[in-house]
Amino acid sequence: MVIGLVSISDRASVGAYEDKGIPALSDWLAAAVTTPYRIETRLIADEREQIERTLVELVDQARCHLVLTTGGTGPARRDVTPEATLAVGTKEMPGFGEQMRQISLRFVPTAILSRQTAVIRETPDHAALIMNLPGQPKSIKETLEGLKDADGNVVVGGIFAAVPYCIDLIGGPYMETNPAVSKAWRPKNA
């Protein structure tokens, strides 16, 4: 299993401030994914061509099965991550973005301004799921994991529960998760 993590930030990419996206993603994956995996990381500016090149390189050359991006999904003029992601994808997976907004709307009304999306990128011999996540570490955790009430019951399901089965369906390796963090869902016959 190879997982690509891409933090998209003009200021962090030039060292103006410390990137918090990649560490947040790395920490969450370490707690959630029990299958052995290797991580490929990239810290890049919010430039559409650079984002597209990075996503293509991670899937086509580094052979990532899953690529998670953070940052660049708002309505600001410099936010072009969804456009770059859609440009390199072969299939759009809109349910991931819809669910991320549902989770975030529990906290802030401005979640409707978020443009997170997901795609499958396919080559003749490989495929990967690419997902655009929010930029803030707290929001990253909430969207991946979902929301639970005080008793630990799921109130809103996180998006990561569907990721292992999606990777199965596109021919990737079998991924297992820590159910205390994110319980992978697969049909009984899978």
What one-character-per-residue DSSP string does 4-68 give?
A: EEEEE-HHHHTTSS---HHHHHHHHHHHHB-S--EEEEEEE-S-HHHHHHHHHIIIIIS--SEEE
pTM confidence score: 0.95
Class of domain 2-169: alpha beta
Ranges of the chain whose pLDDT falls below 70: none
Contact indicator for 3, 68 with CB cutoff of 8 Å:
yes
Q: What is the pLDDT of residue 157?
A: 85
Strand 118-123 and strand 66-70: pairing?
Answer: unpaired
